[in-house]
Structure 1
């Protein structure tokens, strides 16, 4: 009588099951995307001059989609790179087609990292946008910088949701055959 193709053995089943579960957990941790909001994402500008300030700007998610768009920025003084935490920051999303301009204040209250300002948008249409950032310091100093951002329609199936589902199905499949193999080995031993 031939053995099943996936026979783990009765004595090794527990260790093999533990190994399979830990391997799947490791793959889920490594392959799935961490939460993309709150200052994680793609750096758009790095120490860009803006009057007496320099700004570093990140956007998330990457690519920018019609879902919740986070724009996080660090503002520092150009002369000594000390952080500016009490400025008024206004972020505008200006569509290339000239339609409705979206405008949000960026605050440190909206950011998990209190050294960064963050503005949250929900753009209605995909396309090319100009992101314009205006900073006004408490001393009256102002600065402005901008960059272009392509926003895509991500209404299709998100592959990041399929990875954990696929890994879960693989775990169920492996455990099924592991338990099936255990029963087969016991039947072989009793013959």
Structure 2
């Protein structure tokens, strides 16, 4: 039969070891959770920069149900703000009274840098819009600054043309985004390995 004092000391040592292990595990879990939250926040922050394709980032109305020849036009551009890359021009063509959408019109878009440069053209189609009412064209804009945008419509009712100025801002390139992300991911890996080793060492003591 063992000594009560020795038994108490042994029990105390076991409890202390358990507390140290439990505390280390909880610390590792808390730290890992914090790193995960930071990583998620980082991904959320760069999501608008990584977003691609038409319509991402909102849109801005340029022609708001205004009469143009025999039509009433609603024109918008996206994304918001427009950066070097792709600009989408969204058009809805209504009859003279602005009551019925015209689905068989021919809609063309032209964009030219205000300071001079190559003309960029595109056909606005229902296919790009994803429905049978609206027309959307996707134009490649590779320069910053103001662009003169022209919308031309032709239908059985006649022809019309509207124009406006759009500003294209500079954006972060994919290479720069990757350059910012790589050190962050590397840091996460290093910290994760450190915490795993620390937790494993505590478990063996």
The answer as to 2:146 corresponding to 1:132 is no
Match of 2:6 in 1: none
Cα 1:62/1:166, change in 2 over 3 Å:
farther
Normalised to the residue count of structure 2, the TM-score between the two structures is: 0.65
2:44 pairs with 13, 30, 42, which one? 30
- Bigger proportion of residues as helix: 2
Aligned CA RMSD, in angstroms, stands at 3.6
Q: CA deviation at 1:8?
A: 6.4
Q: Which runs of 5+ in 1 are unaligned?
A: 1-6
The answer as to 2:69 corresponding to 1:53 is no
Per-residue CA deviation, residues 39-62 of structure 1 (Å, 9 max, x unaligned), is 234415152414222213123373
Cα 1:11/1:22, change in 2 over 3 Å:
closer
User: Bigger relative contact order, structure 1 or 2, given CA contacts below 8 A and separation 6+?
Assistant: 1
Per-residue CA deviation, residues 58-86 of structure 1 (Å, 9 max, x unaligned), is 23373331x3x232313042634544332
Cα 1:58/1:123, change in 2 over 3 Å:
closer
Q: Which runs of 5+ in 2 are unaligned?
A: 1-21
The answer as to 2:161 corresponding to 1:144 is yes
Tell me the distance in 2 between the aligned counterparts of 1:16 and 1:125.
44
Normalised to the residue count of structure 1, the TM-score between the two structures is: 0.68
Q: CA deviation at 1:151?
A: 3.1
> Which protein shows a greater Rg?
2
Tell me the distance in 1 between the aligned counterparts of 2:147 and 2:27.
58
Q: Tell me the matched-pair count.
A: 178
